Structure 1
């Protein structure tokens, strides 16, 4: 039985990861400061004898015994990471420093959940891992974009200097049950607005594109990456199926039988115009490709939010 630490374990993706690792017979330690993570996300796991919950902010050092570390701690939506941009940057940079030191002390393997935002508003399409990105270093999104880029730098430097066993994944837009209702991301926004039959807010003219990956597929890729041999990444994990934001809004309206109208607002500053992963490296090195079609994942997500709103 491996002892596995998951930072951000009470978050949207972190909670799904904890669930998956427990099913595989591991002892799992969820580490979360509950800034955006929710106790309800891991409530169903609390009585599992192999599950431990630690309330801790990874900007502070910590000392536990573990074999693997999945670093998923960091607000991931613009509303949340811009609420306290200094702390967001500290979570990415000081947080990964503390986790890398923990990995060194334990002799543990460590996986960094990086992001497609390291590519910024890309000039290359689709984005592959060799692309260095087009990132504004001093904009309102920089605390997250540059924080994640800095975290990748530290991962590589620890690997080169201390031979730390590292893995880097770059997560593209991911959705599914347990997304935060108020995180401002396009999937949760559109689904909730549609279920409430209120106007669906599209920023810009809706021609910007996104590629949405269902959470179960993403977690499968992360676990495969952690268990891979002789491959440290970075590697893109996402669904290459590309759709415009306007088409996505229309899909949500149709799937929810909503009476919502679509309204248009100004595009936020530095918002990426195109986002699509090149996943050939993940296919080659991890034998990984997403299995969920968009409509199948949306059915589960819509059902989750429908039940959530009825409980409120």
Structure 2
């Protein structure tokens, strides 16, 4: 018989404003420890040196992580022009340089090719798997390999500041799977001057905003107390992008047992949605002929 996991049954989201110098996994572990939560996970990994929104899911909210991962996200980042690094960020080794410096108008003109449906090759130092092994491990070993280009939706890419000739600050809104480091690298190549990311901040992710995030100092200060419980956002926030239908009392048990059940709402046949009863999510699934066919169910008893 499996050993029961210790901790509190917490269900919802805690938004952390992640500082630089710590991995996303380490932040999740710290949240789990500080809140004494049984279960925690995160939506959308940030590089160790990146800052900003890291939405940590607790308990049953971990089942909604894919919907936050798929949601639009926004980043501000500074590109160092004139230098290419092997990691596409400031942590790497400079492997090429140029004295060319584009004008603001040239940069704005080049940004257009990175908006809409684009194909992007992830950085060599990334968690993409190549024949079952992480790309960054192969890169550290000095292996020569190729990573296939992947589709990415970029909603918007704007120039928001040009502090000096060597740097440009951009803001990007994009979908799932985007690598900001790859945008900086490819923009530098398109401008004929090379480029890499100097700093990166995720300012929002789906319904979660960096301005609402808790810092690690506050997390440590109130660790092992209930002082932070009021900051835990509802599990339902993770379903913000899905349409909602009403689950009548008679359908609750069926849905929680993984069976299709009657729901009420204005949803198209075959559309994914979530069923709520008195404001609480019961299940997520596909709507067919007046019934929800559940793919994920939530039990918080």
Relative to the length of structure 2, the TM-score reads 0.22
Structure with more of its chain in helix, by fraction: 1
CA radius of gyration, larger in: 2
Structure with more of its chain in strand, by fraction: 2
Relative to the length of structure 1, the TM-score reads 0.22
